[in-house]
Amino acid sequence: MKFSLETTLVILGLCFAFALVQAKEDERPNVLFIAIDDLNDWIGCLDGHLQAKTPNIDRLANDGVLFTNAHCQAPICNPSRVSLLTGIRPSTSGVYELKQQLRQAPILEGAMTIPAQFKANGYYVLGRGKIYHGKPYSDEWNDFKTAPDARNNQFREKPVSRLPKIRVRDFGPIDLPEEQFRDVINARWAAKELKRNFNKPFFMAVGFRLPHVPLYAPARFFLNHPKAEVSLPIIKEDDLSDLPAAAKKITRYMDSTPLNHRSILATKSWHEAVAAYLACTEFVDHCVGLIINSLSQSQYAKKTLIVLWSDHGWHLGEKQLWAKRSLWEESTRVPLIFSGPGLGRSRCDRPVQLLDIYPTLVELCSLTKPPQKLEGHSLLPLLSQPNSPWPYPAITTFHCNDHSVRTDRWRYISYANGDEELYDHSLDSNEWHNLVHNLKYQAVIAELKAHLPKVNVPQAR
């Protein structure tokens, strides 16, 4: 078949344009998106606990940018993850609780989540484990499956700890082959997938469930944490004395569950609980190592961006609180690491948010902007210059109109009923001394209060 010169030029032009598009797509980085549940700052690189053993996460932090002052948008699983995945604050969406569905919030009906946005931009999107709180939306993925977790049978059959009626909040070593833990199953799946050939850039999400309760790990991970040698968190006995009524009310949830400070003390279980959290964190670090070791040996080692994050922190007795569900440092501060091509090695102490991940990925991966307005800020300036000016505080929300504002130095908490707290982290990193009634700090409070969300929608149904 013969073509005219004009037709031939058109065909060649189209081929050239396609080649340019293909080349541009091939230059976009792959993304390895690692989510960890309930992981606070008890990792080596954040110095949250001197006995934490997390060599793989630490290696990732040393190879990339570690954000040492990163905070979640909600100290509870579902609203934190919905906010991160959509780029919308809980106070804007009305998603504050565990059982709310993302797509039932009116403002999120047309929103595109991070995996959906990558898929729409030509990425192959695959994942395993806990990314959403609950089942993922299948239309957002090319490949997503769930795996059983045999560890959940232990608390149903015979709890390990001494706490009465403990059930799902149990903790301790269990005699279960590692390959039956879901976190290992998902890590090995990811390690295997990284050996295959992808014909387009990929977005791979892997969500680890530990150190979420039940705090079970194989016995070998407890060897580094004998209970007699475990260091307990430093606490102040009268730490609750300067708290307002609202702070006590919204943080006493665990008092009505079997895992509470009174029961921990009565059964002399504090050392065992801390040992279990450290052992589970070490176990998750092992799983992270399976993935990043596989990546380092793969053809994608030099063209894959790694983002590691946790959805919120966890208390282990601080302020007599267990689990999360507070607006204090132990609940809001989380690990956040970016590592990969074009990124340097540094630590950034600026206050950043999980909300900032979405706009950062849009820029790093040359994605089109999603239909919703992202409420976070791209971290690109801090990825290149960690000491760059950063006027944005980190905002955490727990229920409608209950907020925390975290800056480099201060934490200010405002509750819906008007109660307040103020802590100076330059002098009081444990948040032991509430300064809100000291007239000396009224100008500071006014400045921090100006950052509170202006939109506070009721809980979405």
Number of residues assigned to the chain: 461
Give the chain's mean pLDDT.
Answer: 93
Cα separations (Å) of 246 from 92, 263, 415?
A: 22, 23, 7
pLDDT tens readout for residues 204-249: 999 999 999 999 999 999 999 999 999 999 999 999 999 999 999 9
| C-alpha–C-alpha distance, residues 430 and 315, integer Å | 12
Q: List, in sequence order, the alpha helices (H) in 297-374.
A: 329-332, 357-364
Of 45, 77, 348, 365, which one is the catalytic site residue?
77
Mean predicted confidence (pLDDT) in 186-190: 98
Mean predicted confidence (pLDDT) in 414-420: 98
For residue 324, pLDDT beyond 60? yes
Cα separations (Å) of 248 from 4, 164, 327, 390?
A: 81, 24, 11, 32
6 vs 355 pLDDT, higher one: 355
For residue 17, pLDDT beyond 80? no
Q: Which residue in this structure is represented by tokens 């009465």?
A: 164
Contact 39, 310 (CB under 8 A): yes
Known catalytic membership, residue 133: yes
Q: How confident is the model at residue 27 (pLDDT cuts 50, 70, 90)?
A: confident
Mean predicted confidence (pLDDT) in 368-382: 97
Of 49, 71, 133, 286, which one is the catalytic site residue?
133
CA-atom Rg of the chain in angstroms: 23
Neighbours of 223 (CB within 10 A): 10
Q: How confident is the model at residue 13 (pLDDT cuts 50, 70, 90)?
A: very low
pLDDT tens readout for residues 121-138: 999 999 999 999 988 888
Token duo for residue 382: 């801090």
Lowest mean pLDDT across 89-93, 137-141, 184-188, 364-368:
137-141
The pTM assigned to this predicted structure is 0.93
Mean predicted confidence (pLDDT) in 256-275: 97
Contact 377, 341 (CB under 8 A): no
Q: How confident is the model at residue 148 (pLDDT cuts 50, 70, 90)?
A: confident
Mean predicted confidence (pLDDT) in 48-61: 98
For residue 3, pLDDT beyond 60? no
187-193 contact pairs (CB < 8 A, 24+): 187/287, 187/288, 187/290, 187/291, 188/290, 189/128, 189/147, 190/32, 190/128, 190/290, 190/291, 190/294, 191/290, 191/291, 191/293, 191/294, 192/294, 193/126
Q: Is 268 helix (H, G, I), strand (E, B) or coil?
A: coil
Task: Read off the DSSP letter of residue 38.
Answer: T
460 vs 108 pLDDT, higher one: 108
What angle (nearest 5°) sits at the alpha carbon of residue 280, between those of residues 99 and 288? 90
Query: pLDDT exceeding 70 applies to what percent of the chain?
Result: 94
Contact 123, 202 (CB under 8 A): yes
| C-alpha–C-alpha distance, residues 283 and 96, integer Å | 30
| C-alpha–C-alpha distance, residues 330 and 350, integer Å | 17
At 134 the pLDDT is 83
Nearest in space to 219 (alpha carbons), one of 190, 181, 189: 181
Residue 316: strand pairing partners: 322
Count of H helices and E strands in the chain?
14, 19
- State the DSSP H helix or E strand holding residue 321, giving kind and residue range, or none if neither: none
At 108 the pLDDT is 95
Domains observed in the chain: 28-392 (3.40.720.10)
Known catalytic membership, residue 72: no
